Structure 1
Amino acid sequence: MVVRSVVIIGGGSEIGIAIAEAFAGDRVIGAGLTATDHPAYADFVVADASTSDGADAIIQHAGAVDVLVLAAAAQPVAAAVDTTDAQWHAAIANTLDAAFYPARAALRVLPPGGSIVAVTSVNGFLAAPGLPGYAAAKSGVDGLVRQLALEYGPRGIRVNAVAPGMIGATGLERVTEGYPLGRTGTAREVADAVEFLASERASFVTGVVLPVDGGLSIASPAAFLRPDLRARFLPG
């Protein structure tokens, strides 16, 4: 078995740790603003990936990089007119900048067969109230994924993303009604999709933003708002 060097940006989050666990058997290095001693990590770098210097330091510390996972994000909640400059810049910096700078640094050392996988969100292509900065940043990551996949495919480097729906929510029955599978997701389900896209099983897949959303993004709102349509497939 080939042991890959996997770097996870945003490694201290619930999803980041689940991704680290999904790469068990590989050399997994986490990076984030605060340290974690989770046993899934061989090493953890405290650095700000939203800056060029911080991202370069992470990749230099890792040495060889075979897989880069971009899982950092900030989600300030406010209507557009109430969004402060600080909230806007936090969303862009901690989501989009924290994807671009590590990707740029890693692309200098990723070998043919290397892979980048970003964790974006259905909010990048489905609107929800109060998330202007987060939605713009996640949409930007989606565009970045396609751009890098096009430019670096000839070098044998694949770039993809997963776009989770709501993860880990409990006690929100009205929310889960909007999901065809009837529930929200788990961090491990996101992690498994990330590991798949980084693996040889997805060797001919690049430039893809894969929804991991229980079918949320395929459902017409009418299916849930109109009682006659709801009755066709929802139990009860």
Structure 2
Amino acid sequence: MTPAPETNTNRFPEHIPVQQQQPPGVQAQMTPLPDCGETSYQGSGKLEGRAAIITGGDSGIGRAVAIAFAREGADVLIAYLNEDEDAQDTARYVEEAGRRAVLVPGDLSDPAHCRSVVQRAVDEFGRLDVLVANAAFQMSHENLEDISDEEFDHTFRLNVGHYFYLAKAALLHLKPGASIIGTSSVNADSPSPTLAPYAATKSAIANFSASLAQLLGPKGIRVNSVAPGPIWTPLIPSTLPEEQVKDFGQQVPLGRTGQPAELAPVYVMLASDDGSYVSGARVAVTGGSPML
């Protein structure tokens, strides 16, 4: 009997080089580059013929989900702020999988823009089956008084607001069997003191998802959230101090940062018929850090 191949448990170097960027960060400038499944994810038709919106789909977790969805058979609208180079790279992977990619830049904290994103997806694809609200903003602050009112408001309007705006607009088009997925965080249960506004939004996302699951269950629409732990994305070098970037992820039981590609299969499960009885759940992908 041929032995099973060994699992690759060393997908990331022991230490990350010191580096920083301006927010929102550019994946192409990261060292090392995140693994978004570009060379590893293999689909099996789990989302054949479906259409999805992924916010923050230009890089990081969003890119990994876009690649996986496309290789599972879905057309993908990628909504992002202004990271055009990263977004074009993601679109190329989607198209190489034989699926359509639509790029829509813009400010997702604006309700009108969110409504236009949903309408664009329906106009382009003729349908909408999956909504992934993944875009987020964070910034590290050692002192509460360093957080401006404007930054606090923006963090909530983007992280939580765009989820609400998109879900409300999408309801006009989602049919039974559709799936909505929010990206929460381990910070929802174990909030970092230096990421207070961000952590609060991630708790709100988890709770909003649980409420939506109950509201929309009678319509046959499933709603869940994914709670990542420390994942190597452009958000990290663009919003955390250098010393935190260098040690990023080493505090979890698995002893390393996670890769975006390691989350993509969870989003696929929740979007596909494999998750047909999963709704109201929060799926932790945290490298071993427990969530209550």
CA distance in 2, matches of 1:8, 1:150: 22
Aligned to 2:231: 167
Asked if structure 1 preserves the Cα contact closer than 8 Å seen for 2:174 and 2:221, the reply is: yes
Deviations 1:150-205 (A, max 9, x none): 000011100001100001288538x52x3222322110111221111111111100
Structure 2 counterpart of 1:75, from 118, 122, 138: 138
Greater displacement, 197-206 / 178-187: 178-187
CA distance in 2, matches of 1:137, 1:123: 9
Aligned to 1:29: 77
Could you tell me which runs of 5 or more consecutive residues in structure 2 were left unpaired when the two chains were aligned.
Answer: 1-44, 95-99, 237-244
Equivalences for residues 136-155 of structure 1 within 5 A? 136-155=200-219
Aligned to 2:222: 158
* Partner AA of 1:154 in structure 2: P
Q: CA deviation at 1:128?
A: 1.2
Asked if structure 2 preserves the Cα contact closer than 8 Å seen for 1:49 and 1:102, the reply is: no
CA distance in 2, matches of 1:137, 1:154: 27
What is the TM-score of this pair, normalised by structure 2?
0.70
Report which structure shows greater RCO (CA 8 Å, sep ≥6).
Answer: 2
Could you tell me which runs of 5 or more consecutive residues in structure 1 were left unpaired when the two chains were aligned.
Answer: 220-236
Aligned to 2:55: 9
Asked if structure 2 preserves the Cα contact closer than 8 Å seen for 1:50 and 1:99, the reply is: no
Aligned length: 217
* Partner AA of 2:76 in structure 1: V
CA distance in 1, matches of 2:169, 2:59: 22
CA RMSD of superposed structures (Å): 1.9
User: Secondary structure at the residue paired with 1:74?
Assistant: coil
Asked if structure 2 preserves the Cα contact closer than 8 Å seen for 1:184 and 1:213, the reply is: no
Asked if structure 1 preserves the Cα contact closer than 8 Å seen for 2:55 and 2:132, the reply is: yes
Equivalences for residues 1-236 of structure 1 within 5 A? 2-23=48-69, 24=71, 25-34=73-82, 35=84, 36-37=87-88, 38=90, 39=92, 40=94, 42-63=101-122, 64-78=127-141, 79-168=143-232, 172=247, 175-176=249-250, 178-217=251-290
CA distance in 2, matches of 1:207, 1:74: 24
CA distance in 1, matches of 2:195, 2:265: 27
Q: CA deviation at 1:52?
A: 1.7
What is the TM-score of this pair, normalised by structure 1?
0.86
Deviations 1:72-129 (A, max 9, x none): 1000211323211122112112211121111111122111000011111111111212
CA distance in 2, matches of 1:13, 1:87: 22
Greater displacement, 179-188 / 138-147: 179-188
Asked if structure 1 preserves the Cα contact closer than 8 Å seen for 2:253 and 2:288, the reply is: yes
User: Secondary structure at the residue paired with 1:8?
Assistant: strand
User: Secondary structure at the residue paired with 1:214?
Assistant: coil
Identity %: 38
Structure 2 CA distance for partners of 1:218 and 1:133, relative to 1, 3 Å: closer
Q: CA deviation at 1:218?
A: 5.3
